[in-house]
Amino acid sequence: MRMLHTMLRVGNLEKSLQFYCDLLGMTKLRQKDYPDGKFTLAFVGYGDETDNTVIELTHNWETERYEIGDGYGHIALGVDDIYGTCDRIKAQGGNVSREPGPMKHGTTVIAFITDPDGYKIELIQAKG
């Protein structure tokens, strides 16, 4: 077995694609509208789905906003330069909700950013 994807429900697909593709550097791998169900699925990631886990963005056409709830945690991404990455994200209008620095009770350098729907993305400095 292997992990295939994580699904997030999004209120504005274009804003979400801009966030994940333009700000985080993912590629839109595929997208399909389902008119009878009134929804669109878009898959984004850092590589082809045959070899990589990706994110499925689900846009229900008649829903503009979701309550995230207290069960959701975050998605984690490894980055080579966490400080430069956060500076770039802020310069492009992204929301860095926790500036880079050591994690509480540890030494790993982390930061958090927030996507247009309020989902948290943890950035983790790659060991080098």
Give the mean pLDDT of 89-93: 97
- Residues marked active site are found at 122
Give the mean pLDDT of 69-83: 93
Count of C-beta atoms within a 10 Å radius of residue 23: 20
Tell me how far apart the 2 most distant CA atoms of the chain are, in Å.
Answer: 50
Q: Which helix (H) or strand (E) holds 85?
A: helix 82-91
pTM of the model: 0.87
Residue-wise pLDDT tens digits, 8-46: 999 999 999 999 999 999 999 999 999 999 999 999 999
Q: How confident is the model at residue 60 (pLDDT cuts 50, 70, 90)?
A: very high
The shares of helix, strand and coil residues in the chain, as percent rounded to the nearest 5, are 15, 40, 45
What are the chain's domains?
A: 5-60 (3.10.180.10), 75-125 (3.10.180.10)
d(CA 41, CA 59): 6
Place of tokens 């959701």: 72
pLDDT at 5: 95
Answer yes or no: is pLDDT of 127 > 90: no
Answer yes or no: is pLDDT of 1 > 80: no
d(CA 25, CA 46): 8
% residues pLDDT > 70 (the chain):
99
Answer yes or no: is pLDDT of 99 > 90: yes
